[in-house]
Structure 1
């Protein structure tokens, strides 16, 4: 009888590195689909900062935490290898929430078929959660207008890099915040950002004054950190702040937030945002994104880890900043 490997979450993170001690590898029997089901052999998994929140015990969030003793949650793509579902056939390439496992049984809920010509890297880097998140967050909550100034943290990451490129396509002055000189060089000289700030080495206040002398209109927040209050202080009247991620605070004690007096004085709009609230809008969101992709205005890069086991330590790359582009596990 054939088996496959899955990885269960068995402990909650306590603030240290994410490692194999939080997980358990298990062998399972490859199932046969029942009527209305199909079996997917997963080939690529997405690693995302949101997973750090899913692993926590917090029940007061936009999705329930992953239950201990169950397969770790993640999106991925693969091939249908057996089907008793009328809408999915053997050989179909599909994407869905398949978890950290080599095979997944599905009834089709939340699963989408993929164009056979698209590479896994393009799908997971642009057309999956990163592209949906960037497009929805920027247009529907950031309300970008040509001539304005936008700053995005985590600018070399999968979401931030797309936010900046979309904003450039709309005629904005775009500043990116990243964690290395190499990443800063990439977003300016390859992606076309107008300026970059290395949050590890730059004089943050001085660089903000240099790159945004007329203030900031849109702040797309992915990371938190010391630069956050400095950006809020420089927001223009009626500026918009889209709070998409706070990775700097995910595993430790959150730092105090920025002074709220500028929020009043500048009449700022602050919107917390998570993509799962809007997944039903995916076709419409992709309709906004795809013209930019097809025109070549959206570039990306991916950072691929090899083997299912690599997921157990791969999430640490989000803390160290060592990942370069969309983090993907190739099974």
Structure 2
């Protein structure tokens, strides 16, 4: 009998850092693929801020919470090792929702073949959830226009860094909000952003005013925090706010108050929240939008690799500390 490791969510997290006791590492018997099924050996697994919402008991969220005593939800990339499905063959490299486990049994729904000849970490850093989220949020929700000014928070993160680079390719002035000087230097020197704001050390109002002399047309929100009010104040008439994430509030029992609605009225702002599960059926189209940027060298990325399935448990807290440098990935 062959077994493999999986990690189950057994408790709901409390506010604050994630405690290891909400998870349970288990050994499961390796299944056989049944009719219409595929068995995937997962090679790399993505850690994403969205997981904090998935672990909560909130049944009114955009996706049902992970049920207790089931494998924790996540996306990954792997190889089909057994197939009884007409659309997949043994040896196919695939990506999709696979969970915190070394093997995943699937009926093929939500699993997509990887067509690009790039490393696994590039698949998860660019072509999986981060790149798809950035593409949908910026191009299809934000609708950027050449010559506009974009402010993106979490700009050195997996989504924010791609948002900024696509915006630069579309002719926008891009200002990124980050949490360290190293990250500020990276997004300017390596990714080509026009400016950076360190929310931990800079005078936020002064730096924002200096870097956006013509105001802000498009605001891509990944984090929340004090700069949110200031950016909304700087928005130009008919500006757009794309709300993708609020990591600053995910570990709080009571979220921080949002910006005043007075500027929303005065400037006729459009504010739209979005989540990727609403658009999973559009993944082939989103990949068609994203791929030309990547293949023409306009998208750079960096990955922060953790080793072994169990490293995912402590790895989640890096989203709060900011210790990760690049897309958080668990190598199995």
TM-score by length of 2: 0.98
Residue equivalent to 2:266: 265
| SS of the residue 2:167 aligns to | helix
| SS of the residue 1:123 aligns to | helix
| SS of the residue 1:166 aligns to | helix
Query: In the TM superposition, what are the counterparts of 1:294-309 in structure 2 within 5 Å?
Result: 294-309=295-310
- 2:20 is equivalent to residue 20 of structure 1: yes
Residue equivalent to 1:280: 281
Deviation string for 1:58-115 (max 9, x for gaps)? Answer: 0001100000100000000111111222221111111111100011111111111113
Shift of 1:141: 1.6
| SS of the residue 1:163 aligns to | helix
The answer (yes or no) to whether the contact 2:13–2:19 under 8 Å persists in 1 is no
Residue equivalent to 2:313: 312
The answer (yes or no) to whether the contact 1:93–1:116 under 8 Å persists in 2 is no
Residue equivalent to 1:149: 149
Relative to 1, partners in 2 of residues 1:116 and 1:282: Cα closer, same or farther, differing over 3 Å?
Answer: closer
Residue equivalent to 1:89: 89
Cα distance in 1 for residues equivalent to 2:251 and 2:16: 7
Cα distance in 2 for residues equivalent to 1:325 and 1:2: 35
TM-score by length of 1: 0.98
The answer (yes or no) to whether the contact 1:224–1:249 under 8 Å persists in 2 is yes
The answer (yes or no) to whether the contact 1:308–1:329 under 8 Å persists in 2 is yes
Deviates more, 1:107-116 or 1:124-133: 107-116
Residue equivalent to 2:130: 130
Regions of 4+ moved over 3 Å = none
Residue equivalent to 1:254: 255
Residue equivalent to 2:184: 184
Query: In the TM superposition, what are the counterparts of 1:228-247 in structure 2 within 5 Å?
Result: 228-247=228-247
Any gaps of 5 or more consecutive residues in structure 2? Answer: none
Shift of 1:147: 1.0
| SS of the residue 2:115 aligns to | coil
**RMSD value, Cα:** 0.9
Shift of 1:116: 7.1
Cα distance in 2 for residues equivalent to 1:115 and 1:217: 35
- 2:202 is equivalent to residue 202 of structure 1: yes
The answer (yes or no) to whether the contact 1:13–1:251 under 8 Å persists in 2 is no
Any gaps of 5 or more consecutive residues in structure 1? Answer: none
The alignment covers a number of residue pairs equal to 331
Query: In the TM superposition, what are the counterparts of 1:41-60 in structure 2 within 5 Å?
Result: 41-60=41-60
Cα distance in 2 for residues equivalent to 1:116 and 1:292: 13
Cα distance in 1 for residues equivalent to 2:4 and 2:38: 16
Relative to 1, partners in 2 of residues 1:205 and 1:116: Cα closer, same or farther, differing over 3 Å?
Answer: closer
Relative to 1, partners in 2 of residues 1:211 and 1:116: Cα closer, same or farther, differing over 3 Å?
Answer: closer
Deviation string for 1:285-312 (max 9, x for gaps)? Answer: 1111111111101101111100000001
